[in-house]
């Protein structure tokens, strides 16, 4: 029988994440939305709690929980591991506030990238580091194969040059995982990721962006000018294998896309719960035993939004579960990200509408959630790019065949 409930063993983690979201994130949500670029110092205590959870071997409490552990090949059982717990914890925390989750020390997308591709020595060396992720450049976003930043080997160091834009936590993080090419004539196979720590000469934070949503999260422009990093800071293998193409760095997305989908689900659930409360106060109840077309129009609309939410939620859990069980999940990670990204935008905007004038005011967080939602359909691959990946996978086409 199919069991669609989250695993019992994740219960304690989910509970803790929910409590923290309700007691730490929600009360300061509006404050840091207004105080764009101010660091939410309340997060320090909370980050220490997450570190404790990770250190106690609970795993999956933060971005580094997405590592796929060693498999001896003997285990045939169903595995509910770090990817699933991380997704479940992320949903809860983003129910509290997605921008604050993105501001959490040591929980950056760079941490997920390190967890995904670092070797054991690197994992140990970079433990405790807060890492942002820098892929996007002024001339390259969706098409990450067009990266122009370079990394040239000189003795025992790589020399990095280039500019990165829209880097989440780019100012606050201790380090950045930077995508750069070892040899631009060799195309995408030459793109590797490098850990660059703050304070490294030649690494500069140029400016911060002002944004529509997720204002509590800092978004930075970074410049690398003859920035030298030890050659051991290259994540994965330095070999350029043109047969494998993008495989090394792209592996990160299989783990991070379910996480971004989870962020979308957390925000969508927050908006749905608030709207259900407002509708109930207005005397509109949603009846799950009656067809939608025989109910109040607002209740019927609500049922439709919930159906989208459920579909996104199940796809996201499935893609994380596949990662835990070592099943190739690129297709499912993109399906989850596409469905969750689109749904959170639809759901939050429709909730603003269903709540009437109240939905548009700053008295509630509904308007904020509708602003925060859009980025979840953009970063880690836009809606259109996820659909393109899904189409390629289903049709068996290479990226050169279907653009």
Ligand X SMILES: Cc1cc2nc3c(=O)[nH]c(=O)nc-3n(C[C@H](O)[C@H](O)[C@H](O)COP(=O)(O)OP(=O)(O)OC[C@H]3O[C@@H](n4cnc5c(N)ncnc54)[C@H](O)[C@@H]3O)c2cc1C
Out of 137, 163, 367, 380, which one is annotated catalytic?
Answer: 380
Per the CB < 8 A criterion, the answer to whether 221 and 167 are in contact is yes
Per the CB < 8 A criterion, the answer to whether 346 and 308 are in contact is yes
The residue number with the shortest CB distance to ligand X is 141
Per the CB < 8 A criterion, the answer to whether 371 and 313 are in contact is no
Binding segment for ligand X (CB under 6 A), chosen from 27-35, 65-73, 166-174, 354-362, is 166-174
Does position 301 interact with ligand X (CB under 6 A)? The reply is no
Q: Show contacts with ligand X in window 139-158 (CB under 6 A).
A: 141-142
- Cα(290)–Cα(286) distance, integer angstroms: 9
Nearer to ligand X, 130 or 313 (CB): 130
Nearer to ligand X, 92 or 377 (CB): 377
Among 13, 113, 135, 351, the residue binding ligand X under the rule CB under 6 A is 135
Question: Nearest approach, Cβ of 392 to ligand X (angstroms)?
Answer: 11
DSSP 233: G
- Cα(266)–Cα(88) distance, integer angstroms: 9
Which of helix, strand or coil describes residue 361? Answer: coil
Q: What number of residues does the chain have?
A: 403
Which of helix, strand or coil describes residue 167? Answer: strand
Does position 224 interact with ligand X (CB under 6 A)? The reply is no
Which x/- pattern over 26-45 shows residues binding ligand X (rule: CB under 6 A)?
--------------------
Among 379, 389, 390, 392, the residue binding ligand X under the rule CB under 6 A is 379
Q: Which two tokens stand for residue 7?
A: 């695993």
Q: Residue 374 phi/psi, 5° resolution?
A: -60, -35
Per-position b or e across 394-403, b if 16+ CB within 10 A of its CB: eeeeeeeeee
Q: Show contacts with ligand X in window 383-402 (CB under 6 A).
A: 384-385, 388
Does position 167 interact with ligand X (CB under 6 A)? The reply is yes
Q: Which two tokens stand for residue 239?
A: 């070999």
Question: Nearest approach, Cβ of 72 to ligand X (angstroms)?
Answer: 35
Does position 382 interact with ligand X (CB under 6 A)? The reply is yes
Binding segment for ligand X (CB under 6 A), chosen from 37-45, 59-67, 180-188, 371-379, is 371-379
Question: Nearest approach, Cβ of 268 to ligand X (angstroms)?
Answer: 18
Among 47, 300, 311, 378, the residue binding ligand X under the rule CB under 6 A is 378
- Cα(376)–Cα(378) distance, integer angstroms: 5
Binding segment for ligand X (CB under 6 A), chosen from 18-26, 53-61, 161-169, 282-290, is 161-169
Does position 219 interact with ligand X (CB under 6 A)? The reply is yes
Q: In 118-210, where does DSSP find H-type helix?
A: 120-125
Does position 298 interact with ligand X (CB under 6 A)? The reply is no
Nearer to ligand X, 142 or 285 (CB): 142
# of chain residues touching ligand X (CB under 6 A):
22
- Cα(303)–Cα(291) distance, integer angstroms: 10
Q: Show contacts with ligand X in window 308-327 (CB under 6 A).
A: none
Nearer to ligand X, 122 or 399 (CB): 399
Per-position b or e across 97-121, b if 16+ CB within 10 A of its CB: bbbbbbbbbbbbbbbbbbbbbbeee
Question: Nearest approach, Cβ of 309 to ligand X (angstroms)?
Answer: 23
Nearer to ligand X, 8 or 403 (CB): 403
Q: Tell how many helices (H) and how many strands (E) occur in the chain.
A: 13, 8
- Please name the residues in contact with 159: beta carbons below 8 A apart, sequence gap of 6 or more: 151, 152, 153, 226, 227, 228
Does position 250 interact with ligand X (CB under 6 A)? The reply is no
- Cα(216)–Cα(218) distance, integer angstroms: 7
Binding segment for ligand X (CB under 6 A), chosen from 118-126, 164-172, 183-191, 193-201, is 164-172
Active site residue 281: no
Among 8, 74, 243, 403, the residue binding ligand X under the rule CB under 6 A is 403
- Cα(249)–Cα(38) distance, integer angstroms: 32
Show which residues are catalytic. 380
Q: Binding residues for ligand X, per CB under 6 A?
A: 109, 132-136, 141-142, 166-168, 211, 214, 219, 375, 378-379, 382, 384-385, 388, 403
């Amino acid at each position: 029988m199919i069991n669609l409930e989250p695993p019992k063993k994740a219960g304690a983690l989910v509970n803790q994440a929910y409590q923290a979201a309700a007691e730490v994130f929600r009360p300061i949500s509006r404050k840091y939305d207004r105080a764009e670029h101010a660091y939410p110092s309340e997060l320090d205590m909370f980050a220490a709690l997450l570190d404790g959870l990770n250190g106690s071997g609970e795993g999956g409490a933060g971005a580094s929980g997405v590592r796929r552990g060693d498999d001896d090949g003997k285990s045939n059982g169903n595995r509910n591991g770090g990817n699933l717990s991380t997704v479940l914890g992320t949903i809860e925390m983003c129910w509290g506030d997605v921008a604050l989750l993105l501001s959490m020390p040591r929980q950056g997308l760079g941490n997920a990238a390190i967890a995904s591709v670092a070797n054991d020595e690197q994992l140990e060396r970079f433990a405790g580091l807060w890492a942002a992720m820098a892929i996007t450049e002024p001339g390259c976003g969706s098409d990450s194969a067009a990266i122009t930043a370079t990394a040239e080997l000189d003795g025992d160091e790589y020399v990095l040059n280039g500019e990165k834009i829209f880097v989440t936590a780019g100012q606050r993080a201790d380090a950045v995982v930077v995508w750069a090419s070892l040899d631009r004539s060799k195309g995408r196979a030459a793109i590797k990721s490098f850990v660059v720590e703050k304070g490294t000469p030649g690494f500069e934070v140029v400016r911060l962006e002002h944004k529509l949503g997720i204002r509590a999260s800092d978004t930075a422009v970074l410049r690398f000018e003859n920035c030298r990093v030890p050659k051991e800071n290259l994540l994965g293998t330095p070999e350029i294998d043109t047969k494998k193409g993008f495989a090394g760095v792209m592996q990160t997305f299989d783990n991070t896309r379910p996480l971004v989908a989870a962020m979308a689900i957390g925000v969508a659930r927050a908006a749905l719960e608030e709207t259900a409360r407002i509708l109930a106060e207005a005397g509109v109840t949603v009846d799950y035993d009656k067809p939608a077309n025989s109910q109040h129009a607002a209740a019927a609309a609500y049922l439709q939004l919930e159906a989208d939410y459920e579909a996104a939620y199940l796809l996201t859990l499935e893609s994380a579960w596949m990662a835990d069980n070592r099943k190739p999940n690129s297709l499912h990670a993109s399906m989850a990200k596409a469905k969750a990204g689109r749904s959170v935008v639809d759901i939050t905007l429709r909730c603003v509408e269903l709540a009437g004038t109240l939905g548009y005011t700053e008295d509630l967080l509904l308007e904020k959630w509708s602003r925060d939602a859009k980025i979840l359909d953009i970063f880690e691959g836009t809606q259109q790019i996820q659909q393109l990946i899904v189409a390629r996978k289903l049709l068996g086409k290479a990226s050169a065949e279907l653009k």
